[in-house]
């Protein structure tokens, strides 16, 4: 009897030792993966064209990461189209080893509610690495419109139903959704005029053919400096450091504009956590450099240093915000 008990106890101890050894092996392997990263060229996929704001930010980031990773090539791969979905779908299918990353803006959190049958899931198909920046938008009107505040513009629109309009970069874009929200919150009739991109939309507002637009500061500034546009307010929960004297719509009593957009980095789902953490640390260090900071600021982005966990929480919030907004606007893309 005692012999059998001793044998059983020995077996349990051997099993426990084996499990402990296996766990140690997994930890060691994960640590080794992080130490060995990167093993080759890293691709930074940008779901926008060459020369776009996100492309230029990506190039500044890639330059720093290449230096931080001992001269490892970090190359930009532009895969624009379908509101970030083409680039995102490509990264979702890439090997989960950290060598293919997606740098994407806010539409990443909107497309699940705009398009049917996406070839990926925004949560299950990706590993959030880090938020890189907040991206607020600014409300601007043509300088020929006799309004100096959002309240005055809304009053004009209420007094002339059907006369005033807002431009966007296309149905379902952030610009469209914010314009819809302004009309709803202000209880005014504003006609939506969609364009194929931001530049022609801004030009037509500056030319007096459309009344208003929500856009990035970098898109508006040339026409503001030419005295063809007037900025009235910004989105976001607090004033932007880029325009500290400009009120937010929230300050002015217009709810629904508190959530800032984002610029963030994702890896394919299944990328080892130590590798994700290592990339996140390198990105955080990059954001603190003058080179990357200047690139972000020049396009109206507010630099953010975050962790994978913080970015995952932000993504969850963004998905809920845009699910509700798109549902209320009744937008559905083919």
Quote the tokens at residue 81: 């189209």
Q: What is the mean pLDDT of the chain?
A: 91
The mean pLDDT of 115-135, rounded to a whole number, is 96
Q: What is the DSSP string of 234-293?
A: E-SSS--TTSTTSPBTTTTT-TT----EEEEEEEETT--HHHHHHHHHHHHHHHTSHHHH
The torsion angles phi and psi of 131, rounded to 5 degrees, stand at -75, 140
The answer as to whether 50 is a domain residue is yes
Boundary of a domain, candidates 190, 218, 234: 234
> Are 151 and 228 contained in the same domain?
yes
| Per-residue pLDDT at 28 exceeds 70 | no
User: In this structure, are strands 74-78 and 126-135 parallel, antiparallel, or unpaired?
Assistant: unpaired
Tokens of 268: 């394919």
- The model's pLDDT over 182-223, given as tens digits with 9 standing for 90+, comes to 999 999 999 999 999 899 999 999 999 999 999 999 999 999
Pair (321, 277) in one structural domain: yes
Q: Within a domain: residue 31? A: no
* Residue 155 sits in the same domain as residue 78: no
Q: Are residues 210 and 64 in the same domain?
A: no
Whether residues 64 and 94 share a domain: the answer is yes
Pairing outcome for strands 229-234 and 138-142: antiparallel
Tell me, yes or no, whether 125 and 147 share the same domain: no
**What's the CA gap between 273 and 129, in Å, rounded?**
9
Asked, for residue 217, whether it belongs to a domain, the answer is yes
For residue 163, name the pLDDT band (cuts at 50, 70, 90). Answer: very high
Asked if residue 158 and residue 124 are part of one domain, the reply reads no
> Which pLDDT band, with edges at 50, 70 and 90, does 5 fall under?
very low
Residue in 166, 52, 174 with CA at minimum distance from that of residue 111 = 174
Q: Note whether 180 and 318 are same-domain residues.
A: no
Gyration radius from the chain CA atoms: 24
Percent of the chain at pLDDT exceeding 70: 89
Whether 192 is in a domain gets the answer yes
Identify the domain containing residue 223 by its residue range: 138-234
Choosing from 219, 234, 249, the residue where a domain stops is: 234
Quickly state the pLDDT bin for 32 (edges 50, 70, 90).
low
Domain assignment present for residue 304? The answer is: yes
Give the CATH number of the domain where residue 195 resides. 3.40.190.10
In sequence order, the 6+-apart residues with CB closer than 8 A to the CB of 137 are: 174, 175, 178, 214, 215, 216, 234, 235, 261
Q: What are phi and psi of 54, to 5 degrees?
A: -65, -35
Contact between 140 and 231 under an 8 Å Cβ cutoff? The reply is: yes
Does residue 170 share a domain with residue 197? Answer: yes
Structural domain count of the chain: 2
Tokens representing residue 318 in the block: 């963004």
How confident is the model over 246-275, as pLDDT tens digits?
999 999 999 889 888 999 999 999 999 999
The DSSP bridge partners found for residue 134 are 262, 302
Residue 27 lies in a domain: no
Is residue 175, in this structure, part of any structural domain at all? Answer: yes
The reply to whether 144 and 229 lie within a common domain is: yes
Do 130 and 266 share a domain, yes or no? Answer: yes
Residue 333 confidence class, pLDDT cut points 50, 70, 90: confident
Report the CATH number at residue 80. Answer: 3.40.190.150
Residue 174 lies in a domain: yes
């Amino acid at each position: 009897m005692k012999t059998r008990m001793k044998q059983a106890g020995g077996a349990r101890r051997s099993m426990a030792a084996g499990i402990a050894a296996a766990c140690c092996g997994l930890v060691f392997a994960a640590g080794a993966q992080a130490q060995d990263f990167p093993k080759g060229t890293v691709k930074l996929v940008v779901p926008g064209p060459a020369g776009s704001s996100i492309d230029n930010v990506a190039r500044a980031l890639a330059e720093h990461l290449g230096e931080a990773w001992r001269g490892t090539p970090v190359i930009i791969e532009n895969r624009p189209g379908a509101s970030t979905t083409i680039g995102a779908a490509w990264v979702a299918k890439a090997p989960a080893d950290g060598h293919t990353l997606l740098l994407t803006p806010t539409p990443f959190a909107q497309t699940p509610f705009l398009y049917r049958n996406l070839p990926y899931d925004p949560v299950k198909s990706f590993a959030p690495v880090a938020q890189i920046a907040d991206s607020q938008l600014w409300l601007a009107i043509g300088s020929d419109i006799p309004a100096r505040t959002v309240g005055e513009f809304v009053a004009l629109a209420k007094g002339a139903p059907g006369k005033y309009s807002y431009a966007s970069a296309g149905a379902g874009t952030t610009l469209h959704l914010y314009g819809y929200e302004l009309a709803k919150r202000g209880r005014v009739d504003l006609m939506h005029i969609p364009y194929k991109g931001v530049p022609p939309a801004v030009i037509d507002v500056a030319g007096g053919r459309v009344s208003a637009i929500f856009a990035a500061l970098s898109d508006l500034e040339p026409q503001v400096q030419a005295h063809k546009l007037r900025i009235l307010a910004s989105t976001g929960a607090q004033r932007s450091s880029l325009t500290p004297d400009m009120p937010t719509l929230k300050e002015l009593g217009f709810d629904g504009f508190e959530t800032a957009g984002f610029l963030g980095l994702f890896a394919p789902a299944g990328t080892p956590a130590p590798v994700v953490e290592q990339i996140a640390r390198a990105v955080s260090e990059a954001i603190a450099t003058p080179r990357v900071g200047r690139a972000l600021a020049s396009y109206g982005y507010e630099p953010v240093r975050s962790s994978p966990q913080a970015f995952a929480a932000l993504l969850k919030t963004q998905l809920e915000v845009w699910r509700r907004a798109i549902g209320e606007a009744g937008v559905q893309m083919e």
